[in-house]
Chain A
Amino acid sequence: MQRIGVFVCHCGSNIAATVDVKKVVEIVKNEPGVVHAEDYQYMCSEAGQALIAKAIAEKNLTGIVVCSCSPRMHEATFRKAAERAGLNPYMVEIANIREHCSWIHKNIEEATEKAVILARAAIAKVNLNAPLKAGESRVTKRALVIGGGIAGIQTALDIADAGYEVDIVEKTPSIGGRMSQLDKTFPTLDCSACILTPKMVEAAAHEKITIYTYSEVEKVSGFVGDFTVDIRKKARSVDMDKCTGCGVCQEKCPSKKTPSEFNRGLGNRSAIYTPFAQAIPNVPVIDRDACLKFKTGKCGVCAKVCQAGAIDYEQKDEIVTEKYGAIVVATGFDTIKLDNYDEYAYNQSKDVITSLELERVMNAAGPTKGHLERLSDGKHPKEIVFIQCVGSRCSDDRGKPYCSKICCMYTAKHAMLIRDKYPDVNVTVFYIDVRTPGKNFDEFYRRAVEDYGVNYIKGQVGKVAPQPDGSLLVQGVDLLDNKQILKKADMVVLATAIEPDPSVRKIATMLTASIDTNNFLTESHAKLRPVESPTAGVFLSGVCQGPKDIPETVAQAGAAAVKAIGLLAKDKLLTNPCTAKPDELLCNGCSACANVCPYGAITYEVKLINDHGIREERRVAQVNNALCQGCGACTVTCPSGAMDLQGFSNRQIIAEVDAICR
């Protein structure tokens, strides 16, 4: 029989305001196995933990139940406290009477009754707990970074600088990501390429960093410290070792009608191409869907003009398999599609563009060589209207419910840059709120208004109507003036909502990392573990976790790197001892468990078994504790009950059911 102590936490008033903690203590005292019960203001505090330690020593406790917040919050805290007091940490169970009780119920009587039942279930379980010991597993000292934008580059650099090998996998032909598409950056107006390119070069030159561009993660197996990843290197059709990056092939390529992804479709590129001049690696790829050689079999111009003989039409996709200890996701974002926003005439007029497209228009290497022009007729615009929150903060299914965070600042940047370079252009910004929390952010926005004369109007635009004369009629409202405004504009720029890059869904599935309803990756704890995924060994860098600007992305990239380094620095990891355990005497050797094991942790062995005096050779299941992650799939498929899960055994769960249904 166990000697159990029950500790009921008030959590200040978080629990005590709705649960009569004294009454809980009085009732659970009489539960089987319970020899001690007490309550305290804050069990997780040092004083609270000391109470637990004291009771363990004085009452000779063999198991404890803490009635407190979620085990996801403080199970580790109480396990450590128990361990320090000489109790096996797995003799601790938590009854979640805060998140699952006091916070959601108002009636004290009801909440107290439920708290008692939850405590009883935990007591019933701990009565059947057995001490468990964590095993050890190895750590592969290599990290994988998925995504080669500024987030991925920064994370890779930081990990590599700490002395660990890092691989970057980037799906496009070059690293650089969204930041490479930007012209200037707020609030300092640095040239984006000028600050990004050195980072790209540094990453490419770093002896610890391997970059796989035009490559995608295809398969992930394993677990924290020991992931195995298949990377598909898509056929580039160009030999990376031979190519000198001279660029002649791109010049001579006769197929030049493919919309440039880098220029957001505002200009064209050749079939053999590098996305932009500073691309890393500076080795082109052949877009086989656009290439005449691949489409018709005729052409081959690039191979003829390539002096290095680097063109290889026969190249095939290649799968690289590598082992990693940690994986960082840095898949970034894209802008949402505007097909559902007919009122802004994005699909009807070339002069209605997104802000990211404006970045390309403003950029010297962009489709207009940096001149501010209407894309319809190349004319210089006189009147530009910016519309904020296009698709952001929408609770209908046309847009996204969240604030995209970066739009207020980049719009101020765009407005300021245009007014600076072209004082003859009038700039109007329709906004709902201007959100500028950040260092020097509000000052920046005010400069746009005060020093550059940008006209900010509080109110939304209802409709943009293309006119026969080529102008755009913008119908908006000035809420402060309570007036409807009709404005003729030459260009309209939409601050389009951002969303996680669509590739993240597949990657999250492969990593078994959880994702929220907006496809942002979920962090382990919203406040305290913001760069860790709940899946051990997977870290989050940049916008894949939530909207961010560049400085935040870089800061988070560094934080993700530190977490990865912290993992890689360990020689061994303690493994979860809650693994499956077969009872060899009961095992039929039927292989059902091995069939459902996602980790291949179950094998079979023919062994001499002594079954109560009957000695015979039997085929019995064996579990590899380093591979088993403790899901329990095998335990349910086993008809004889030979396979059980330590820490969540059949008897323990049945005891909980019994306690609840009592």
Chain B
Amino acid sequence: MQELINRAKELLADGTVARVLGWKKGDMSYNPEVAYFNNAEELEGFVYNGFCAANLSKYLIEASKLEGKTLVFLKPCDSYSFNQLLKEHRIDRDKTYVIGVGCKGKITVEKIRDLGIKGIESVEIDENCENITVKTLYGDKTVAYADAMLERCHVCKGKEHVVSDEVIGESRDTVDAERFAEVERIEAMSPAEKFAFFKAELSKCIRCNACRNVCPACSCRKCVFDSTKFDSAQKANVDSFEEKMFHIIRAFHVAGRCTDCGECSRVCPQGIPLHLFNRKFIKDINKFYGEFKAGEDAETKGPLTNFTFDDVEPCDAVKGGN
């Protein structure tokens, strides 16, 4: 962490960058916040640890409008989102300085709570990210790091940064689960079971828009759900339509662009596994149109703005999904 702070100070000092985008300590040890640092003094509050899960690439849309370069720290998976945004002309590469940071998997306090640990006061992570010491009202508890990891890290995309100006720190292979296992489990259900499953999950939604706000692919200046472009004369119907179809349409809009960064599920206050929509599209795209990783580069045409003459017919695609 100190290495990151030192390098950031250097780049600020020699004028390479005008500001630094990173994480600072939050009100608790387990919830660091995204923050800008404008000088060496402010950088003293910089933190980088297992709880720094937030994907910073989306912030660069606004940062690109500011004077001078912004230094940003991107984890390997965040770099895919960065590339995708470059492809969509949303961020200005010339106004960013990317330091790829090492990642050994990210953890969340929710997972620790899920393990039945109550009264958490603070959390300490050991140097090698093997174990976590949780200080609680009822004494210290030790938890294996992997048990507190986010779902996305169990199916990690890899240790490499697909874009960066320099890389600091080492990453670790954290994959220990099958990426599409959950999607396949749902695919195997009967139509009624599927409907019931998604109905139960989606009914928890409070339309707080946290998923939309955090999603690097959901970067529209104005969301289609906030404009009148699709409504018909009867406003009441529109409301119910957008309320009910929100997640399905959102998933379609980011299909072929979603990097599976998992931020949507991470930030959902209701714990809805929103990534299951996106991952279904990714699975289908890979199956029907060839392996595709959104954001792997900033040039390749996305699968939904492309075609081949002998693509699968929709009726066969549906059967193939069974």
Contacts and interface: CB of A to CB of B under 8 A. Distances in A.
Given A591-B89, A596-B305, A637-B305, A651 B230 contact: yes
A286 interface: no
Contact of A32 (B65, B233, B237, B305): B233
Interface stretch (A46-54, A81-89, A639-647): A639-647
A588 B229 contact: no
A640 B221 contact: yes
Contacts of A641: 224, 227, 229-230
B232 A639 contact: no
A130 interface: no
Nearest to B255: A639
A591 B220 contact: no
A586 B230 CA distance: 13
Interface in B208-257: 219-224, 227-234, 237, 253-254
A583 B229 contact: yes
29 contacts: A127-B233, A128-B233, A583-B229, A586-B229, A588-B88, A588-B220, A588-B221, A589-B88, A589-B89, A591-B88, A592-B302, A592-B305, A595-B302, A595-B305, A596-B305, A604-B89, A611-B221, A616-B65, A637-B305, A639-B254, A640-B220, A640-B223, A640-B227, A641-B224, A641-B227, A641-B229, A650-B230, A651-B228, A651-B231
B90 interface: yes
B89 A654 contact: no
Contacts of B304: 637
Interface string B128-157: 000000000000000000000000000000
Nearest to A611: B221
A651 B89 CA distance: 28
Question: Interface centre among B90, B229, B302, B306, by most A CB within 10 Å?
Answer: B229
A651 B220 contact: no
B253 A595 contact: no
Q: List 6 tightest A-B contacts by C-beta distance, closest first.
A: A641-B229, A590-B88, A640-B220, A639-B253, A595-B305, A641-B224
Contacts of A604: 89
Given A586-B221, A619-B89, A640-B227, A658 B232 contact: yes
B287 interface: no
Nearest to B229: A641
Given A127-B233, A596-B305, 11 more contacts: A585-B222, A586-B220, A586-B222, A586-B229, A588-B220, A592-B88, A592-B302, A616-B65, A651-B229, A651-B230, A658-B232
Interface string A103-129: 000000000000000000000100110
B230 to A, nearest CB: 5
A655 interface: yes
Nearest to A634: B305
B89 A655 contact: no
Given A616-B65, A640-B221, A586 B227 contact: yes
Contacts of A644: 229
With most chain B CB atoms within 10 A of its CB, the pick from A591, A592, A639 is: A639
A283 B229 CA distance: 63
B138 to A, nearest CB: 48
Interface residues of A, number: 30
B234 A658 contact: yes
B144 to A, nearest CB: 40
Interface in A266-286: none
Nearest to A125: B232
A588 B90 contact: yes
B220 A639 contact: yes
Interface of A: 32, 124, 127-128, 583, 585-592, 595-596, 604, 611, 616, 619, 637, 639-642, 644, 650-651, 654-655, 658
A498 B230 CA distance: 52
A124 B89 CA distance: 38
A587 to B, nearest CB: 8
A637 B228 CA distance: 18
B311 to A, nearest CB: 14
B204 interface: no
B7 interface: no
A619 B237 CA distance: 34
Contact of B233 (A583, A592, A655): A655
Given A588-B90, A595-B301, A641-B224, A124 B229 contact: no
A350 B71 CA distance: 84
A641 B220 CA distance: 10
Contacts of B306: 595
Instruction: Identify whether the interface residues of B are mostly helix, strand, loop, or mixed.
Output: loop
B232 A124 contact: yes
A644 B224 CA distance: 12
B88 A650 contact: no
Contacts of A639: 220, 224, 253-254
B227 A654 contact: no
A637 B252 CA distance: 10
Nearest to A650: B230
Nearest to A655: B232
A202 to B, nearest CB: 42
Contacts of A655: 232-233
Contacts of A124: 232-233
A616 B89 CA distance: 15
A353 B7 CA distance: 88
A585 B222 CA distance: 8
Interface string B165-194: 000000000000000000000000000000
A93 to B, nearest CB: 15
A640 B224 contact: yes
A571 B90 CA distance: 43
Contacts of A596: 305
A590 B218 CA distance: 12
A650 B222 CA distance: 16
Contact of B230 (A585, A611, A637, A654): A654
Residue among A32, A586, A587 with max Cβ neighbours from chain B (10 Å):
A586
A595 B304 CA distance: 10
A590 B233 contact: no
A587 B219 CA distance: 11
Nearest to A637: B305
A655 B241 CA distance: 13
A658 B232 CA distance: 8
B224 A654 contact: no
B229 A650 contact: yes
Nearest to B305: A595
A611 B234 CA distance: 26
Contacts of B237: 658
A186 B232 CA distance: 64
B89 A128 contact: no
Contacts of A640: 220-224, 227
Contact of B89 (A590, A642, A658): A590
Nearest to A636: B304
Contacts of B302: 592, 595
A654 B231 contact: yes
Interface string B284-314: 0000000000000000011011100000000
B35 to A, nearest CB: 24
Of A124, A127, A586, A640, chain B has the most CB atoms within 10 Å of the CB of A640
A252 to B, nearest CB: 46
Contacts of B221: 585-588, 611, 640
A641 B88 CA distance: 16
A637 B256 CA distance: 11
Interface centre among B220, B232, B302 (most CB of A within 10 A): B232
A30 to B, nearest CB: 15
